[in-house]
Amino acid sequence: MKLPVVIHQARLGADEFRVIRPAQPLTRAVLTDHDRHLDAYLDQDAARSIAGLWLLAARSPRSLIHLPMRANHPPAREVPNAGSQLDLVLLHHSLQFAPSRWKHVRGRLGPGRPQTVSLPEAEHDDVAVTDYAARHYRENRDLFHQHLRAETLFMTGSTKAFRETARHFLDVARKGPGYIPVHPGYPHFCTELHSNDGVLGDAREIHIEYCDQWTDHTKVAPTSRRHPNE
């Protein structure tokens, strides 16, 4: 899997931060805050890209993976109890980044350097190999924790947590497009980061749903590298 990204550098005082963004904006991806839980609505391309970025977070412990999407148009169908839309940042717990610094880091990002990252093809990697029993051991530290700051959800986790849960987005990308046409009475394909799965520590559940109809009808110019959410 080839994943085009842009790598940015930002200096804040004596500290320098490495921020990775998708090369093209994820225009058909929405993350909504519903207080007790979060909803992610994705088309096939966005779901596959986020799966790749999720895997990239697993192998990039010194980077912040930023997915700007809080200004995106919502799906065309009605969604329940619309809440505030958020950006998403994925980061390894070892980075120990303080979310309170994010707004300043985001405002100091340089122009960025395009790069293509090679990731294992989903059919041959180990993202679905999970020891579910071990997740519920008291000693399990491979848990996600969340913080909300500057209209951004921070998902902080371990390499194992990111690697094992990328499958949720891969499932949406692979199965969502084929499910909708053959289930017209209930065209709803979804998966979830659930509290019973043993992957959430101080974190809310995330419902992840495939959507094939969107309110936007414009395409982002291929040459554009500036995200509308900045």
Nearest in space to 205 (alpha carbons), one of 46, 48, 34, 28: 34
pTM: 0.85
85 forms beta bridges with: 32
Structural domains of the chain, count: 1
Spatial strand order of the sheet with 205-210 comes to: 84-85, 29-33, 37-42, 205-210, 190-193
Q: For residue 98, what are the contacts with CB-CB under 8 A and spacing of at least 6?
A: none
Q: Report yes or no on 220 lying in a domain.
A: no
Q: Find the domain containing 111 and state its range.
A: 2-210
Q: Report yes or no on 134 lying in a domain.
A: yes
pLDDT tens by residue, 81-136 = 668 999 999 999 999 999 999 999 999 998 899 999 998 764 334 444 445 444 44
Q: Report yes or no on 108 lying in a domain.
A: yes
Q: Report yes or no on 223 lying in a domain.
A: no
Q: Report yes or no on 186 lying in a domain.
A: yes
Q: Report yes or no on 199 lying in a domain.
A: yes
Q: Report yes or no on 79 lying in a domain.
A: yes
Q: Report yes or no on 221 lying in a domain.
A: no
Tokens representing residue 119 in the block: 């990731």
pLDDT tens by residue, 25-74 = 999 999 999 888 999 999 999 999 999 999 999 999 999 999 999 999 98
